[in-house]
Structure 1
Amino acid sequence: MVLFDFVFYALLFFTGIGSYKIIRSAPAQNKFIKLLKLLWVLWTASLWVGLILQWVLPKGSKYQEAVHLPRHLWILDHGSFKDGHSKQKIAYGQHPKQYYHYYPGLETSPKKNTIIIYFHGGGWCLGSPDQHRYLAHLLQQEGYSLVFPAYRLTPAFGYKDLQADVNHAVRHALNFVKQQGVEQPKIILGGTSAGGNLASLFAYDENRWSAIDLDRSILKGVFSIVGALNTAAMEQTYTLLDYTGPIDSPSYQLANPLHWISPQDTFPFLCLHGKKDGLVAYKAVEEFCKKLNHTVPNMLQFKTYETATHIELGAAWYYNSEANLGQDTVLINWLNTVSR
């Protein structure tokens, strides 16, 4: 993150000097040179506007989240995070995105037979398991075995494709861990943002478990960090509709986890969400939690954070201590409780 900030501010400085010289210089006679100078000045102005917007946009707006996103994604991709040990990349399909990272549990750990299957976020169109190396290290140190799947992304692929990838990844991973000597595995599903949506859809749809010949009794819990748990109550952006399909399509309702809640869903659910989330509205998640708590009482732990944005609560705490509001402790304590 220090490197990103250094490069960004150095760019501001040098482009600013260049723009100042262009503005003070005599007008160019050549139209092409004139255009290049104009583009340079506009580019410099856009950098400064982006910086100013980070300071002035109200916390909790989608615009405030958007201007922080490039830096956030760069740090997740290039930051020097500790990763879990003995990581293996396993393909579960032919597409480059059809793979998962497997982190074996510590040999001496009584929790190594509990597999945490975690789906990354990114609005169904971005992201990768590598961006969550910090989380992998944290959870593996707790003794769990981990599976972090990748999946095909929108807009090239939609709801049905992503659900198929989840099915294949889970089935393949459970077969693989058994080959590694993990007997009678139990699983905990989880995800951040779009990944929380994918994990919840799989957990609550009993038909999908039957379709891939899995007994849902091995599911010990589900956790969602800033998850898209009620897509119908979110802003209907192109990004969302690329995934769900049009509002009048059959897949639109099927892509909403709230639609799948039933009295048979008697497994613990942990929901972490911020009231300043500008991408997945707090109200949408609150409606999901109210229905879950009404339908299956005492299965929900809903932890809210008054000042947390989507980026902060989701993954900025990997590199920014101020964004760590104790969500790591809440998650670990919940995992240790449900995995007993």
Structure 2
Amino acid sequence: MAFDNLDPQGPARNAEVAAYAERALALSRAALDRVDASFDIAYGPEPRQQLDIYRPKGRALSALPVLLFLHGGRWRAGYKEWNAMMAPAVTEFPALLVSARYGLSPRFLFPTPLHDVLRALAWLHHNVARYGGDPNRIFAGGHSAGGHLSALAVLRRDLHGEFGLPTAAIRGCFPMSGTMNFDLPEVTPGSEEEEIRRILLADDRDAPLASPLRYAEGNRLPFFISYGEKDFPRVIATGKEMIAALKRQPCRLENLVFAGAGHFDTHLDVARAESRWYPTVRSWMTED
């Protein structure tokens, strides 16, 4: 079982991260008896390419909408198991919740994590019907690094065909506390922005290619962008940039600011079915 065999990772970078990771895993373990689940399903040939699927408990339903939600961890850590805490709320829509692993730094740098997410989306389109999902009603989202990767994956329409993913199968995107732009006019040595580039990118020249904002032009896919009132400054600033860019596009757009919430609070909040995040997600995923 996935929760019993978590790959060892390095120590958390600070106490806040450690507390979040411990809490997310505890909430996720506690949620397991309220859903049916299939763990560690291969979506590609590499050991890291695995996903978990959570289904409504005790109900044999079919053609359910699908939410692929990606964990955070600053592109270098994190577990797909952190997202199981969302499963009771999502499966009550009813819908399927899917959580996938992707390549982590320093071993796997951009674009490998993006390609992993695209492969996972394509696998779902071709295989999720066997688990009760609708292959043509797939939504993508994620927290932090996962929010960034989910937005980039759905916007990179130029890559969808290469991975066997019909763009029309993706019906919406729900990035939470994700950085939407790395292509800054100036990056100060020793700054947070420089460190993030070092973690994610093999080459600084890839910063535009790793930025969802670059691909907002012409987007028609619905976007629901959320972040915390006290989130990281770069998350708030680039989130606002992305919202402004998408307002100029022919797409449905909503925004939620979690009142009083920091970067990690946003994800922990959706362990509660009463979270303000769910009404929009439920409405978009279940409408005809």
TM-score by length of 2: 0.82
Name the SS of the counterpart of 1:85 in structure 2: strand
Structure 2 residue 286 is the aligned partner of structure 1 residue 339: yes
Structure 2 residue 254 is the aligned partner of structure 1 residue 301: yes
Structure 2 residue 101 is the aligned partner of structure 1 residue 150: yes
Instruction: Find the aligned partners of 2:234 and 2:73 in 1 and give their Cα distance.
Output: 12
Look up the match of 1:269.
Answer: 223
Correspondence 1:175-324 to 2 at 5 A: 175-180=126-131, 182=133, 184-232=135-183, 235-247=192-204, 249=205, 251-263=206-218, 265-278=219-232, 280-296=234-250, 299-315=252-268, 318=271
Instruction: Find the aligned partners of 1:261 and 1:144 in 2 and give their Cα distance.
Output: 27
User: Which ranges in structure 2 are unaligned for 5 or more consecutive residues?
Assistant: 1-12
Look up the match of 2:121.
Answer: 170
Correspondence 1:122-133 to 2 at 5 A: 122-133=73-84
Name the SS of the counterpart of 1:163 in structure 2: helix
Amino acid at match of 1:159: F
- TM-superposed deviation, 1:206: 1.0
Identity %: 20
Quick check: 101-110 or 83-92, which moved more? 101-110
Look up the match of 1:36.
Answer: none
- TM-superposed deviation, 1:285: 1.0
Q: Deviations 1:45-66 (Å, cap 9, x if unpaired)?
A: xxxxxxxxxxxxxxxxxxxx94
Question: Given that residues 232 and 256 in structure 1 are in contact (C-alpha distance below 8 angstroms), is that contact kept between their aligned partners in structure 2?
Answer: yes
Where relative contact order (Cα < 8 A, 6+ residues apart) is larger, the structure is: 2
Q: Deviations 1:168-203 (Å, cap 9, x if unpaired)?
A: 212222222133464553111111111111111111
Look up the match of 1:86.
Answer: 37
Instruction: Find the aligned partners of 2:222 and 2:210 in 1 and give their Cα distance.
Output: 21
Distance 1:178 1:68, change over 3 A: same
Look up the match of 1:5.
Answer: none
Correspondence 1:2-151 to 2 at 5 A: 66-79=14-27, 80-83=29-32, 84-105=35-56, 107=59, 112-151=63-102
- Aligned pair count reads 265
Bigger proportion of residues as helix:
1
- Alpha-carbon RMSD across the aligned residues, in angstroms, is 2.6
TM-score by length of 1: 0.70
Distance 1:275 1:78, change over 3 A: closer
Amino acid at match of 1:330: W
Larger radius of gyration: 1
User: Which ranges in structure 1 are unaligned for 5 or more consecutive residues?
Assistant: 1-64
Amino acid at match of 2:210: A
Name the SS of the counterpart of 2:48 in structure 1: coil
Amino acid at match of 2:139: I
Name the SS of the counterpart of 1:208 in structure 2: helix
Q: Deviations 1:7-56 (Å, cap 9, x if unpaired)?
A: xxxxxxxxxxxxxxxxxxxxxxxxxxxxxxxxxxxxxxxxxxxxxxxxxx
Distance 1:190 1:307, change over 3 A: same
